[in-house]
Amino acid sequence: MEFTRPVINSYESSDMIMYGNYVEEDYPEVIDTNLYSDEINGQMIRSEYEETQTILTDNCSQFGITATCFDTHENLLWVGNQLGYVSSYYSADMQKYTMFRVHSDEEIRSLLTTDSTLLVLTPTTLRCQMRRGLPIFTHSSENLNEMQCITQLGRSQDTILMGGHQDKLIEFNLNLCKETTIINAGENGCAILRQNANRTVCCGDPTGVIKLRDPRNISKIIYTVDAHTGSLSDFDVHDNLLVSCGFSNTHGSMILDQFLVVHDLRMMRSVSSIQMIIEPFLLRFMTSYSSRIAVVSTSGQCQLVDTVALSEQDMNLYQMSGVEEGAIALSMDVSPSSQAIIIGDNVSTLHLFTTASSRFNTLARDTIFAQPMEPLPCGPISVTDELADYSNIPLLPCDGPLASELPEKFLRNIYRKTPAIDKSILSTMKMKGTVGYAPNPNNRKRNQVAYFNTVSESKLSNSININNNSNNHSNDEECESPTFIAIPRRYRKIDLKFKSEDFDYEQYNKTGFSGLESSVPNSYCNPMLQVLYFLEPLRKILMSHLCQEEFCLSCELSFLFHMMNKSKGIPCHSGNFLRALRNAHDATALGLILPEHNNAELKNKINISILIQNWNRFILHQIHLEFLRSKKGLTDEQGKFVFKDIDFPSIGGQQIRKKIKNKEEDNNETEISRLFGCKQLHVNKCLKCNHEFSKQSNLMVCNLVYPESLDETPMSFCDLLQQSICPKQTTMTWCERCESFQQTLQTRTLKSLPAILTVNCAIESKQNKDFWQQQMDILVKQAVTKSGDQKTAPSTPTSFNKPCRYGTNCTRHSCRFMHPGQTPTVPETNSAISLSQLYYSHSWLPLRIKADLQPDGELTLIKYDDEEIDSKSSSSIYDLHAVVCYIHEDRKNLVSIVNVGQKDHEHISASNPSPQWYIFNDVSVSPVIGQEAVWFSLDWKVPCVLYWVSRNNTVTSDIENEISNPVITAKVFTESVCLNSSSNSNDVILPDQIPKSGELVAIDAEFVTLNQEESELRSDGRLATIKPVQMAVARISCIRGEGQHEGKPFIDDYISTQEQVVDYLTKFSGINPGDLDISKSSKNLTTLKSTYMKLRYLVDNGIKFIGHGLYNDFRMINLMVSPEQVIDTVALFRLPHQRNVSLRFLAWHFLGNKIQSLTHDSVEDARAALQLYQCYKKLEADGTLQAKLEELYKCGKEMHWTVPGE
């Protein structure tokens, strides 16, 4: 390395040697300049500081070190870099202590240590961290923007001061974790903060000005120092001196000053300047000396100078070793003991200079280190050592349960199941009443019962590893190890942000069909709601229904389906339907309402598969009864009295009584029973006297009935369904002729086939599940056998071809391995056959079924594969329309797979309006192929409900011709429901006063809370919402937006609720306890359905709504309003990428009105929104809108978005 002696005229009395101490001797002609040795030209010179450590930090060299700080209480060095990481090193040996990440995409700007914590400042956040790395809190706010520096304020250990490249100084209290004071720092901001022994706080801005402030009143400026004409690079303050370095503005360019400026704080003026050998960039006082300063240049040179004895000869200059080309020093610090200097550069390297006695702190307290792991008291223990004493091995303290603490279910006495009765006994058994007897086959000793290892024979004889290759043994162990089940994402439950406006639904649904939100209690029925919606005949029938019952599920389904029709892919909120479901007494009695409390143990006991099947049966019967009540109500109102002989059966005798019975059966029929019902004839025949009696019923949902025993006999799904629809069984019933209980043969035959066939799979018990799995295994085995792939031996032998390690001594009854002398009976299959693909392509559940009903009621069902239909055939073809599946995962999910027809695709204007299968998983909608609907993996995907739709049934077309969609008319205003007679209701609205299409209406709604939000603290310190707050509509107000009665309300309804209200939110809603109680309220109390139909009338007639935050209001009311009909003042008075402004602040700023002073009033809020819209139109016409919005945000920041007087 070549060295050139610099020429410095200000030091004529002494010569100097670079990178060492100055020596009073002449320079030789050639100087040996080994920068890292203590010998120069044979003379040993002892340097005061030496570079003892050069460390490349953990992150790559692309990210420089932006902040360094010596701990003021312990022997620790703290380092922050541009990647957001903070590291710490212990003592001069630079032993790694801790490392953690503060921010994912922001650099560390400043570090500050207190007595017990470390404060880390990034451009937008303040993190408080324990020295051991645990976070205490993270603070962020609108005021934290481009933050740069931090310091402790005064003598207080709890108050800090933060500044940055903005016009604010922020005073922050660490105990309260909040900002206490905001001070105006000027337009140039504050880039550097230093404190001088609690006397002054020095604030340096980028323009070269340093302001001295009073720490007791930080807004008070004591003195201003114009340090540099260009810009300020760094400064430090100690005792009575302030020293700075910076840039000068010379001929329009910035030049780094090669001197330090010294100010005396006692005289408040500049006293001198110190000429430097290097170009000063960073500097720090060495506090253990009275006036010594460490100065660092951008190239990494460090010079120690004294501010008093300028003629002193010993002036040290050092250079960082191993510096890469282009390396720049970004940060530096001096330890409190002045025995160490640290420099960090832009290539992530630390350079530590220390003295011979290198301690960071002279009175440092002990640093807490992680407790080392104690060595085991003995050597390794073999897992096969039966005499090993595991209790001698110490364990670390833990909060969770130990493996030795067995759950209670493992400590119960479990008895053997009763073995199956021998087939030879069953074949000779005779029944006497309910007791069977048979000859003893004498194949076992007296009182001896044989117990065998209960292993499914289908698994023993499975030659192709049926269960997804799960029969392969690991280490030849007897038991199979559990395998990880990868559930596809489209089936898993979705983690939603419960504030739906913040959630990106498009990533889960790009189809145009609407999903359903799952944040409402009892939303487990969402998959069934999707199935019912895409049954076009049912949808038309329900949308033709409109009655006056408050909690009519048919009406609520009609409103929900109307909303889904208009949503165009936006998720819908089914809160009103689920509210009516909770108020249905039959649903509560059947256990269809889940408990409100988030009790994990209680939820685990709920079998959601059974629950959805019971819900399916309930909803069909419920809407049938509601249609029946509506039908009979209309008949009673319209029918007039006419004398008929059938009305008086005592006159006509038995023949007339039969006519009455047939008439009642016809009267009990509705569109729902005609669509889903199949008429069954129940025949009971006494086996003793042959007496028969019969009755007729209407079957709407069929439950699959499985065989009682498992065997290898294959059975198609059609055979099982046929036996379930038309069962035959023998049971003990009462015979009227014998006048005793006798064996009775019960048979059921069909009189008609339904247009829509609904089946509950009833796979609740293990036996039913095993039967379904067994039939799938048999089907796949047959497919492999017929494929003719046995010619090629597999590359990996199956477990049947592997020799058993126990040989002839094997005693395992179910051993799957080959033994000596045994010939393999398992056909070898080609390894290229993918078992999962075989299960996927060969499904036991058919996509199409052919049904033949004979005149005598005998039903024949077969799988239908041919697409050609014989026009002369009277058979009915049923296409699988929908499948509801239970997804067995931790959170128990339900999904529906639906075949969406061509008309539904045309409704959303799809480019290819052909039928397509979709998976509906709450808000997620994913297209799939039809084969996925009939493919099941019973370890995680279990079928629950099946829907088939008939192709050639005329009932559907007949019903569609009979129904007509009702139109909500203006009568909803004149026939409004009022539940309390003492209310101060609104004036009667005349027909000509109802708003017309295109007119303006201002609206606002208030809500109450039905349950509290439940949250949990995650391991990373975040608070996660596990159960959102449930809100209910309490008041809806609409005022006229134009015309003679502008500003006057024509709807101001309080909504009655029968559910318990946890919090009325009086401060925010204006609703007081008792306002929603029929017996106490003096308000215009009505039903939600009555008010909802008024709003539906306004929406359907093209009324334009004005309001503030209407998205959430309409979502909670369950209304889908097109964007053309919504005028939201939140969007009108908002700049791009800025915060939303509250209605109260907008009303104060633009209208000069202070609303919501004591409580909220929906009429007042709606009127304020209307006036704001009129103000917006005026500003837009004047061309001053943009300027007024900018003025709004400027005023809001100054006022902290609070109205004066709050």
What are the binding residues for a divalent metal cation? 1004, 1006, 1113, 1165
DSSP-assigned beta bridge partners for residue 767: none
Please report, in range form, the residues annotated as the binding site.
1004, 1006, 1113, 1165
What does the DSSP assignment read for 19-66?
A: TS---SSPPPSS----TT-SEETTEE---S-EEEEEEE-SS-TTS-EE
> What is the CB neighbour count within 10 angstroms for residue 1152?
7
Query: Any idea what DSSP says for residue 509?
Result: B
In order of 396, 397, 404, 598, 1120, the CA distances from 400 in angstroms are 11, 9, 12, 21, 48
What does the DSSP assignment read for 951-982?
A: SS-HHHHHHHHH-------THHHHT---S-TT
The one-letter code for the residue type at 544 is S
Residues in Cβ contact with 142 at an 8 Å cutoff, skipping those fewer than 6 apart: 1139, 1197
Burial 916-950 (b: 16+ CB within 10 A, else e): bbbbbbbbbbbeeeeebbbbbbeebbbbbbbbbbb
Residues in Cβ contact with 837 at an 8 Å cutoff, skipping those fewer than 6 apart: none
Cβ pair 756, 676 in contact under 8 A = yes
**Element housing 78 (H / E):** strand 76-81
Dihedral angle of Cα 1061, 1064, 1065, 1066, to the nearest 10 degrees: 180
Pairing of strands 253-256, 241-250: antiparallel
Nearest to 897 by CA among 861, 867, 935: 935
Torsions phi, psi of 1141, nearest 5?
Answer: -105, 135
DSSP-assigned beta bridge partners for residue 1002: 1039, 1106
Assigned token pair, 1015: 């949250």
Assigned token pair, 1067: 């401060």
User: Look-up: residue for tokens 């002045």?
Assistant: 338
> What is the CB neighbour count within 10 angstroms for residue 997?
10
Calpha distance 661→688 (Å, rounded): 30
Residues in Cβ contact with 1002 at an 8 Å cutoff, skipping those fewer than 6 apart: 1038, 1039, 1040, 1041, 1105, 1106, 1107, 1166, 1167, 1169, 1170, 1173
Neighbour-count burial of 359, counting CB atoms closer than 10 A to its CB (0-12 exposed, 13-18 middle, 19+ buried)? middle
Torsions phi, psi of 388, nearest 5?
Answer: -65, 140
Calpha distance 1103→996 (Å, rounded): 7
Calpha distance 302→283 (Å, rounded): 9
Would you say the C-alpha torsion 131, 134, 137, 142 has a positive or negative sign?
positive
